[in-house]
C-alpha cells in the first residue's frame, strides 16, 4: 500500500557516537524523502563528529574514526539537512525517542532554530511493537519477507523502515493511511520536549516529569522558584528542553505584561 501524503515525509536514520542525546554526535545520516506523488529522493552523509567514536560503538555500525576524519562536520551540513526536511513530516524507527531528539540537538548546536510545530512524526518501531514486539531486522523479515542486508547502516535502515510502514498498512486494516493518525498511534506519552523532561497534564498544561517537582506545573514552579530555571539552563539538559523551558517562561512573562 502506498502512503497517502498531504506533504512530503522524510524517513531518516542516524548512526551516532552513542546514545546520550545531549552529548553524542552523528557519524552518518540517511534521509529518504517521499513526495505525495510517489517520487522519492535519497541522501546519505558520513559526518565527522569532531570527537572519538568508542570502540564498542564502532563494533555495532562499523564506522570508525578514520572513515569520517575527512568528512564534513554536522555544522557544515546543517543548513542542507534543515532545508531538506523543512515543511516535511518525519518518520523513522525509534525516531521519537532517539533520532529526532538527537537531530534537534545537532541542529540547535549549529545555530538552526529547529521546531516541530505543525509537523507529525511517525515512529514505525512503536507501531511494530504495539502489533508484534520485534527488532527492525525481524520487522523487515516479518512484514516484507526479506532479509535486511546492511543492518545498522543508515541507508539500509531508512529503506527498510519505509518498506515496513507500507507493509504494515497492507497488513492491518485498522491502521489509517494518514500521517497525522499514524503519528498519534505511534506516539507514546506526549511531551513538550523530545527528551521527556516536560510533559502535559490532563488539562494540557506543561508539567515537570522528573525530580522534586515531578507532576508540578512548570509555570507555577518557575514563578515560585525562579532559581530553578537558571539551574536547568546551566545543567546538562538537552538544548531543546532548555528552548521549551525558555518559551514557557517568556509566555508567562508576556501574559503578565499584557
Task: For CA atoms 4, 8, 29, 108, give the dihedral sign.
Answer: negative
CATH number at residue 66: 3.30.420.10
Q: 50-54, 123-127, 251-255: lowest mean pLDDT where? A: 251-255
Residue 53 belongs to some domain of the structure? yes
- Last residue of one domain, picked from the residues 185, 211, 242: 185
Q: What is the value of pTM for the model shown? A: 0.71
Same domain assignment for residues 97 and 48: yes
Summarize pLDDT for 177-207 with one digit per residue, the tens.
999 999 989 876 778 888 889 999 989 999 9
Same domain assignment for residues 169 and 66: yes
The mean pLDDT of the chain is 92
Summarize pLDDT for 30-71 with one digit per residue, the tens.
999 999 999 999 999 999 999 999 999 999 999 999 999 999
Same domain assignment for residues 38 and 131: yes
* pLDDT value at residue 150: 83
Q: Which domain holds residue 236?
A: 198-257
Look at the chain and report how many structural domains it folds into.
Answer: 2
Same domain assignment for residues 72 and 152: yes
CB burial of residue 97 (10 Å; 0-12, 13-18, 19+): middle
Residue 155 belongs to some domain of the structure? yes
CB burial of residue 164 (10 Å; 0-12, 13-18, 19+): buried
pLDDT, average across residues 208-230: 94
Check pLDDT > 60 for residue 133. Answer: no
* pLDDT value at residue 232: 95
- Last residue of one domain, picked from the residues 154, 185, 216: 185
Amino acid at each position: 500500500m502506498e502512503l497517502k501524503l498531504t506533504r512530503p515525509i522524510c524517513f531518516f536514520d542516524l548512526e551516532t557516537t552513542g546514545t546520550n542525546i545531549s552529548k553524542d554526535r552523528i557519524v552518518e545520516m540517511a534521509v529518504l524523502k517521499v513526495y505525495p506523488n510517489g517520487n522519492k529522493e535519497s541522501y546519505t552523509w558520513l559526518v565527522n563528529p569532531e570527537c572519538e567514536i568508542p570502540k564498542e560503538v564502532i563494533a555495532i555500525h562499523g564506522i570508525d574514526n578514520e572513515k569520517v576524519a575527512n568528512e564534513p562536520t554536522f555544522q557544515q551540513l546543517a543548513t542542507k539537512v534543515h532545508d531538506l526536511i523543512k515543511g516535511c513530516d518525519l518518520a523513522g524507527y525509534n525516531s521519537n525517542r532517539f533520532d529526532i531528539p538527537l537531530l534537534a540537538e545537532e541542529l540547535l548546536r549549529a545555530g538552526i532554530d529547529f521546531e516541530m510545530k505543525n509537523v507529525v512524526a511517525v515512529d514505525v518501531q512503536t507501531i511494530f511493537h504495539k502489533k508484534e514486539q520485534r527488532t527492525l531486522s525481524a520487522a523487515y523479515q516479518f512484514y516484507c519477507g526479506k532479509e535486511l542486508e546492511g543492518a545498522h547502516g543508515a541507508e539500509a535502515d531508512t529503506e527498510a523502515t519505509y518498506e515496513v510502514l507500507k507493509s504494515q498498512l497492507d497488513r492491518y486494516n485498522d491502521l489509517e493511511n494518514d500521517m497525522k493518525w499514524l503519528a498519534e498511534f505511534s506516539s507514546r506519552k506526549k511531551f513538550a520536549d523530545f527528551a521527556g523532561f516536560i510533559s502535559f497534564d490532563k488539562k494540557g498544561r506543561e508539567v515537570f516529569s522528573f525530580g522534586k517537582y515531578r507532576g508540578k506545573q512548570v509555570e507555577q514552579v518557575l514563578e515560585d522558584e525562579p532559581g530553578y530555571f537558571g539551574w536547568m539552563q546551566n545543567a546538562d539538559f538537552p538544548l531543546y528542553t532548555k528552548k521549551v523551558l525558555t518559551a514557557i517562561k517568556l509566555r508567562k512573562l508576556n501574559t503578565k505584561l499584557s
